[in-house]
Amino acid sequence: MFLSVFDMFKVGIGPSSSHTMGPMVAAARFLQTLRDSPFHAHGLRASLHGSLAFTGVGHATDRATILGLAGFEPASYDHDKAEATLAAIHETRTISPPGLGTLVFDPKTDMVFDYGPSLPGHANGMILRATDAQGDVILEETYYSIGGGFVLTAAELTAGEAAKPKASCPYPFESAAQMLEMARESGLSIAQMKMKNELCFRSEAEIRAGIARLWEVMNNCITRGMAGEGILPGGLKVRRRAKGIHEALEAERGLNMTAPHTINDWMSLYAMAVNEENAAGGQVVTAPTNGAAGVLPAVLRYYLDHVPGATTSKIPDFLLTASAIGGLCKHNASISGAECGCQAEVGSAAAMAAAGLCAVMGGTPEQVENAAEIALEHHLGMTCDPVKGLVQVPCIERNGLGAIKAVSAASLSLRGDGQHLVSLDVCIETMRQTGHDMHEKYKETSLGGLAVNVPNC
């Protein structure tokens, strides 16, 4: 199994990787399919199903789908251009995808929220259609947004792993046990094995430049978040808090009476800054998702700013190690809140961050695996119940607590020798089973939990 660091970490836009980025990616794929087909379309239609319908408005899924059909993609998203394009689509009731001319598309009638049963493949389903001048469907495709910005067609989802070409790389571990065995046999760290896998597909210069770009976007997101003010969009009237927390912490620097636990506030600050930016629709990096995008950058920023001896030269090791753990979570369970609850998002993010921190602080592969397991184990069962379908409550604070857990998990693992009772593989499988058994109302539908017990207006 090979999942690139650039698959786990993708530059995109908020507020959701599965509900915003995924639908935009799906729309881009549909446009290419239409361009490659012999059909000449007159109009386009889209329908959202399952969690994409129930929390679609709060996650801006309709907006993302429309913009995707207009030719926008997450990595190159231009906010001002998008606003102008959306306004034109609503006014003219037409859409002009690159290479396909002007097509009929009325957002009020051609963008449908289907609140019936979910599509059979995944909780995040959508159907895109092209029609002729009579309104008859000439091309149709079903897409599933499976978390972290990853998108599969219905056929790809059904075919599963068997249809994927086997990656030709030297360390294709599919479990933590295999990962540790390969590390022992090779004498390499997890990051070194991951780098050798990446080198099969890119040059070292490309990999290091790409990783540097990922951290640049993550860190810039923290900085913007700590400067942002005002009320987050969506109607909950959630006030940005990162700027105020940052100012208070800066004012306390150097005071003799500062409590030791204040370091937790720094970790929470960094994570909340990212997730406030995400909630505002800003540029973020999936880590492994948008809803959990603050955990890993917060832990890496904590390492760089607060750990004696920390060095930026360790950033690649941190992200490569984290991506290896994230790949195991995705491959053997899920990173989708709509599929397995928030344990799959913030839980996986905490496991990735704990592993990365443990690695750059000198942990052995066994200690790194232990750190990831501790962090994930103590997120098991966590539901995904966003109030009003917005990635704000409880998501923003939850990232802060996820970062604190990740640092604690790394610290605990470094105090031991890597030997422990519950393996990471067992923990990931438990997450998968728990997600399967979890009631649908607790899996990003906003039909249970905080979403129904907190007033939405």
Residue 240 has pLDDT above 60, yes or no: yes
Is position 53 within any domain?
Answer: yes
Residue 284: DSSP 8-state: E
Examine the domain organization and report whether 366 and 279 are in the same domain: yes
- Domain around 101: 16-162
* Cα distances (Å, whole numbers) of residue 318 to 290, 352, 449: 19, 9, 34
DSSP string of 186-248?
Answer: H---HHHHHHHHHTTTS-HHHHHHHHHHHHHHHHHHHHHHHH--SBPSSSS-PBP-HHHHHHH
pLDDT digits (tens, 9 = 90+) for 311-324: 999 999 999 999 99
Inside any domain, residue 9: no
Residue 1: inside a domain: no
What's the average model confidence in pLDDT over 74-84? 92
Q: Rounded to whole angstroms, how far apart are CA atoms 70 and 163?
A: 30
Q: Give the pLDDT band (50/70/90) at residue 160.
A: confident
Among the listed residues 269, 258, 263, the one whose alpha carbon sits nearest the alpha carbon of residue 295: 269
Q: Compute and round to an integer the Cα radius of gyration of the chain.
A: 22
Q: Flag whether 449 is in a domain.
A: yes
> Is residue 280 situated within a structural domain?
yes
Residues 6 or more apart whose CB falls under 8 angstroms from that of 249 comprise: 262, 265, 266, 269
User: With 80 as the cut, is the pLDDT of residue 26 above it?
Assistant: yes
- Tens-place pLDDT, residues 167-195: 689 999 999 999 999 999 999 999 999 99
Other beta carbons within 10 Å of 454:
13
Kindly state whether residues 144 and 250 are assigned to the same domain.
no
> What's residue 166's pLDDT?
55
CATH code: domain of residue 25: 3.30.1330.90
Considering the domain architecture, whether residues 332 and 443 belong to the same structural domain is answered as yes
Whether residues 257 and 369 fall in one domain: yes
Cα separation, 9 vs 230, whole angstroms: 28
Last residue of a domain, one of 106, 130, 162: 162
Q: Check pLDDT > 70 for residue 362.
A: yes
Assess if residue 327 is contained within a domain: yes
Q: What is the pLDDT of residue 164?
A: 54
Instruction: Please give the Cα distance from 440 to 26 (Å, whole number).
Output: 24
User: What's the number of domains the chain is made of?
Assistant: 2
Inter-residue contact 87 to 100 (CB < 8 Å): no
Query: Does 187 share its domain with 153?
Result: no
Considering the domain architecture, whether residues 136 and 185 belong to the same structural domain is answered as no
Residue 118 — very low, low, confident or very high, per pLDDT cuts 50/70/90?
A: very high
Residue 406 near residue 299, CB atoms below 8 Å: yes
Same domain assignment for residues 184 and 125: no
Give me the residue label for tokens 């890597």. 418
Q: Is the same domain home to 205 and 340?
A: yes
Task: Mark which of 162, 189, 217 sits at the end of a domain.
Answer: 162
